[in-house]
Structure 1
Amino acid sequence: MPTVLVTSAAGGVGRPLVRSLTARGVTVRALVKNDAQALLARRDGATEVRVGDMRDVATLEDAMRGADGMYHAAPTQIIDEGPIAEHIVDLGTRRGLGHLVFHSVIHPEITELPHHTQKESVEKLLATQSIPTTILRPSHYMQNYLDFWEFIRGGLMPYPVSTTSPMGVVDVEDVAEAAAAALVAPQEHIGKTYDLSTETITREAMAEAFADALGHRVTAVRLPPTAVVDQAGAAGAVLGGVARAIPSLSPQRAMHLLRGMRDAPNARGIRSWSPQARDNYVQMMSYYDSHGLPVGDLTHLPTLLDRAPTSYREFARREVARRVHGIDR
């Protein structure tokens, strides 16, 4: 039975990937950064767990030892992916890593986005080495908006991007399933690069999808792209959205909005990010606010999944079923 190392195994893609690989009979070794994440990885089915910082060579070497395949995704808050990728190439070459699946990003050629150029640099590095490699380029995650779940329950969908920006999106669970498909059948996917995109949608349409699933109005609200460093400006935009929703605001929905305002300042654990990581995030939101984000080749994902990808409306219905009604489907 092959052993596959999953880095960032407690992350948005990592957790469903561990579950998907385990369900396929793969022995999963999870690399996580702390004991709390280790517990999650074991619950998801990881047979082995390594705890540490992937930027530490000794940690990475221990995690890669004896692995047949590897799925590598660097956390958003890591600014410079280059040294990690160089260590993976060195260790993987010396230890005969059989297959590397690299988690890149859609359109890595967009030079205005630092995290895209980071991914492009790693892709270029991998193209020059001998480790059998598959590259996945996922679009903007549908799940990103769930950081504001309490607001959505209350009837608002705030985000630091224009409500009309066309965003190419993908369901994280589809990304994980596509990654698992590549990892269990490496010979079919080595040397290939796949765009993982489902559809183009505006946040106004996203809000409509959640409104249909929840049975009450949901209003998309634009926060300033600088919201992460200008929380007063973000609060003002949210309060403006609340004022527009007041005529139809029930006490229960008001409670959800209050919880949303309590949780929002540390969405995605952003208080722990470095100043440079926050600056990069602001730059990313500013770009999306003005330009949106195009989809990639829409034929790749259905081929990997052997089914139609999850639409945004299906995603909204699923999340409401899980989070409101306790139904996992």
Structure 2
Amino acid sequence: MITVTSAAGGVGRLLVRQLAAQNAPVRAVVKNESQAATTRRDGATEVVVGDLRSTETLDTAMSGADVIYHAAPTQVIDERPIIEHLIASAPSKGLKHIVFHSVIHPNLHQLTHHHQKDIAEGLLRESGFPTTILRPSHYMQNYLEVWEFLQAGVMPYPVSPDSVMGVVDLADVAEAAAKVLIDPSPHTGKTYDLSTVELTRHQMAEIWARVLGHPVTAIRIPPSALTNSLDALPAIPAVIGHAVRSTKLNSLAHIVRGAQAASNPRDMKNWPDDARQAYRTMMTHYDGHGLPAGDLSVLPSLLGRTPTSYEDFARRSSAEFGYSNR
């Protein structure tokens, strides 16, 4: 049995599907009954509904499983109690291996999310428990949050268009994770960077322009707008101006829908205040410094193929959304 936490998240859903496609029994851990129904459709064999911060949920998730893939939701800031309980209880529950979903460059201690991952990695290494650590880069899918704007010809995001970001396709992360979970022994004690390519958002916008068939302009939204929406107001004229020049009147409906989606990205309004502030701080750092990729040779080796390029990701995503380049 393989347990997948945060099984209704971006990586989790794809990972459950990957494992189910290979006939691996999957126990999915989700936070509510709606997510439970989703993960069952994705192929989960068993479902645990609960809070990862609950020791009862963790014990149920581990019991009788051979390996666990642990990925905490972004809004969970302090992972130490979760990791400490996994380490302490794993042997008695029959667990043999932990695969930990970390982040690229966890040594960026000025960023709470990265620092917490570094603490968790240290606890796992010090425990001596069989562990594999995966460090994915910034997800290509993060930019699908502005899909409506992309169709209008603009790519607004709370990071400078000039910042260099290492990115990776979530589907590739899930495929690599599935390979480790199905046969974890060769990966014991290993730490893997999962990065595909480095791009600025200007370069991403050029790729989207080729895919969508109209000009796309990358626009910076102040990271402070993540916690104070009024800070986005100065960028609105640029968004509308570039959109109208790119896609004319066709842009208007997309701008309206994009603005509605941007009013509560990732459901952040329901996150704890410390999680919102930590996310804003992280985006502010990326805005000024970017986020370099890790070792680009690792992912091809794990996958046994060339990772998905940003353009292939954009074309696949456009097709999944039913977009036609008219």
TM-score computed with the length of structure 2 as normaliser:
0.97
Q: Are 2:196 and 2:309, in contact at CA under 8 Å, matched by a contact in 1?
A: yes
- Report whether the alignment pairs 1:250 with 2:248: yes
Are the counterparts in 2 of residues 97 and 131 from structure 1 also a CA contact under 8 Å? Answer: no
The one-character-per-residue Cα deviations of 1:214-258 (angstroms, maximum 9, x if unpaired) are: 111111110001111121221331332212332333333221111
For 2:139 and 2:236, how far apart are their aligned partners in 1? 22
1:85-131 C-alpha deviation (Å, 9 max, x unpaired)? 11111121322311110000111111121111100000000011132
Q: What is the aligned counterpart of 2:234 among 233, 236, 252?
A: 236
Q: CA deviation at 1:310?
A: 0.6
Q: Is the 8 A contact 2:138 2:167 kept in 1?
A: yes
Q: C-alpha distance in 2, partners of 1:278/1:81?
A: 16
**Contact 2:140 2:170 (8 Å CA) reproduced:** yes
Residue 11 of structure 2 is matched in structure 1 by 13
> What residue in structure 2 maps to residue 130 of structure 1?
128
In the alignment, the residues of structure 1 paired with residue 98 and residue 150 of structure 2 have an alpha-carbon distance, to the nearest angstrom, of: 38
User: Partners in 2 of 1:196 and 1:306 — Cα distance?
Assistant: 13
The percent identity for this pair of structures is 55
1:84 to 82, 85, 94: 82
Letter in 2 for 1:107: H
CA contact (8 A) 1:157 1:207 kept: yes
The within-5 A match list for 1:142-157 is 142-157=140-155
SS in structure 2 at match of 1:157: strand
Instruction: Tell me the alpha carbon deviations over residues 119-165 of structure 1, each in whole angstroms, 9 at most, x when there is no partner.
Output: 00000000111321100000011111111111111111111000010
Q: CA deviation at 1:325?
A: 4.1
Q: What is the CA–CA distance in structure 2 between the aligned matches of 1:268 and 1:243, rounded to whole Å?
A: 26
Give deviations 1:173-213, integer Å, cap 9, x for gaps: 10000000101111111110000000100001111111111
**Counterpart residue number, 2:41:** 43
Is 1:119 aligned with 2:90? Answer: no
Please give the alpha-carbon distance, in whole angstroms, between the structure 1 residues aligned to 2:2 and 2:74: 22
Q: 2:184 aligns with which of 162, 170, 186?
A: 186
| Structure 1 match to 2:210 | 212
Structure 1: gaps of 5 or more residues = none
Would the aligned equivalents of 1:161 and 1:225 in 2 still touch at CA under 8 Å? yes
Aligned to 2:161: 163
Alignment match, 2:66: 68
C-alpha distance in 2, partners of 1:113/1:256?
33
Structure-2 residue corresponding to 1:290: 288
Distance 1:207 1:233 in 2: 23
Does the CA contact (< 8 Å) of 1:158 and 1:238 recur in 2?
no
Q: C-alpha separation between the residues in 2 aligned to 1:143 and 1:320?
A: 12
Distance 1:18 1:104 in 2: 18
Query: Would you say the 8 A contact 2:221–2:232 is kept in 1?
Result: yes
Aligned partners of 1:157 and 1:218 also within 8 Å: yes
Alignment-mate amino acid for residue 250 of structure 1:
K
User: In 1, Cα distance between the equivalents of 2:300 and 2:250?
Assistant: 40
Q: Retained in 1: the 8 A contact 2:138–2:166?
A: yes
The verdict on how the C-alpha distance between 1:248 and 1:123 changes in structure 2, with shifts beyond 3 A counting, is: closer
SS for the counterpart of 1:295 is coil
Secondary structure of the structure 1 residue equivalent to 2:264: helix
Distance 1:35 1:153 in 2: 33
Moved segments of 4+, more than 4 Å: none
Q: For 2:40 and 2:246, locate their aligned partners in 1 and report how far apart those are by CA, in whole Å.
A: 44
SS in 2 for 1:41: helix
Query: Any idea what SS the aligned residue of 1:208 has?
Result: helix
For residue 314 of structure 1, report the CA deviation from its aligned partner. 0.9
CA distance in 2, matches of 1:248, 1:61: 54
Gaps of 5+ in 2: none
Aligned mates of 1:234, 1:30 — CA distance in 2: 38
Matched residue SS, 1:287: helix
